[in-house]
Structure 1
Amino acid sequence: MYSRGMSTPERLIESTRELLWERGYVGTSPKAIQQHAGAGQGSMYHHFSGKPDLALAAIRRTALEMRATAEATLAGDGPAYDRVASYLLRERDVLRGCPVGRLTMDPDVIASDELREPVTETLQWLRERLAGIIQEGVDRGEFSASLDTGEIASAIVATVQGGYVLARATGSPEAFEAGVRGLLALLKPRP
């Protein structure tokens, strides 16, 4: 499954990332991680102090990847609406859900300040990044000056995260896509 050149710690982290996304923290046992990574118990505990330590490394990596992916679509100096639309319309595996957002539904992650921290920081970063882009649009006259940029940014994040939930519940990406189309219609600047 993994390349021969991938180190054991890398295989363990990547396996944990995948299993956390599929099963959540509670459903991801050390044995499942070891089997998925093709690593022995000794190897796992040689590199990580236990499941929480390994999960934290995996969650941090997932959070960094989510930020990089979002930034790739949000970067630039084009119109704010176009940048937000690019973020909302980018290709996603909506039926799998958000690998970071799904962790908020895991009681063990939420109960642990350490495991919850990269999740909270990433979602906060995304809201702040979007608020900055909306503010650029306000400053350029693309959007009404009466917009609360923080509220709009929160609505964008909520639409994406809620869209994942709706898509998973219906078994169809159409629910996600409908939410995105609706939000974009509300955000569309008036000529």
Structure 2
Amino acid sequence: MYSVLMSTPERLIEATRELLWERGYGGTSPKAIQQHAGAGQGSMYHHFTGKPDLALAAIRRTATELRAAAEVAFGGGGTAYERIAAYLLRERDVLRGCPVGRLTMDPEVIASAELRAPVDETIEWLRGRLADIVQEGLDRGEFRASVVPEEIAAAVVATVQGGYVLARASGSPAAFDAGVRGLLSLLAPPADESASRTA
């Protein structure tokens, strides 16, 4: 399943990431990880102290990749609105859900301060980054003065995570797409304001 060039620890981490996404922490057994990674029990315990240690490495990797993917949109050119839109409209496997967001519904992850930490940190980073971008837009007169950056950031995160849930429940990405379109229409400055700024 994985490249022969990947080291055993890399295969174990990648296998754990996939299984956590598909099955959650409780459904991801050491045996399933080993089979998925094509690694023996001895190899797993040589590199990791156990399932929690390996799961933490996998969650951290997933969180790092989510931040990097979001930053591609956030760090692009354009107005604050365009950068937020780029994040909301970026390519996603909507029906699989968010690999980080789904962990918030995993009771064993939430019960562990260590496993929960990278999830909490990632969500807080995302909200903070979005709030900063909205503030940039406010400073440039791109948004209505009544806009509160932290509230918009919370709305964006809630729309994305809620959109995943609705899409999975309906078996169609249409619900996710509708939520994104609705949020963008609410966030977009009125046409007359846009025209006056560009005149």
Give 1:189's aligned residue.
Answer: 189
Question: TM-score when scaled to structure 1?
Answer: 0.99
| Aligned positions of 1:125-144 closer than 5 A | 125-144=125-144
Query: Aligned pair 1:105/2:95, yes or no?
Result: no
User: Given residue 62 of structure 2, which amino acid in structure 1 is its aligned partner?
Assistant: T
Distance 1:161 1:19 in 2: 20
Give 1:54's aligned residue.
Answer: 54
Q: Which runs of 5+ in 1 are unaligned?
A: none
Give 1:11's aligned residue.
Answer: 11
Question: TM-score when scaled to structure 2?
Answer: 0.95
Distance 1:168 1:142 in 2: 34
Q: Which runs of 5+ in 2 are unaligned?
A: 194-199
- Give a deviation string over 1:64-98, Cα, whole Å, max 9, x none: 00000000011034200000000000010000000
Give 2:41's aligned residue.
Answer: 41
Give 2:92's aligned residue.
Answer: 92
Structure 1 stretches of 4+ with a deviation exceeding 3 A read none
SS of the aligned residue for 1:78 comes to coil
Q: Identity percentage over the alignment?
A: 79
Distance 1:169 1:93 in 2: 14
Distance 2:112 2:162 in 1: 23
Distance 2:179 2:146 in 1: 23
Give 2:74's aligned residue.
Answer: 74
SS of the aligned residue for 1:120 comes to helix
Distance 2:9 2:99 in 1: 20
| RMSD of aligned residue pairs (Cα, Å) | 0.6
Distance 1:3 1:76 in 2: 32
Distance 1:61 1:136 in 2: 29
User: Given residue 136 of structure 1, which amino acid in structure 2 is its aligned partner?
Assistant: E
Give 1:122's aligned residue.
Answer: 122
Flag the structure with larger Rg: 2
User: Given residue 114 of structure 2, which amino acid in structure 1 is its aligned partner?
Assistant: E
How many pairs were matched up?
191
Give 1:150's aligned residue.
Answer: 150
SS of the aligned residue for 1:95 comes to helix
- Give a deviation string over 1:9-52, Cα, whole Å, max 9, x none: 00000000000000010110000000000000010000000000
How far has the Cα of 1:121 moved from its partner?
0.2
SS of the aligned residue for 1:13 comes to helix
Give 1:2's aligned residue.
Answer: 2
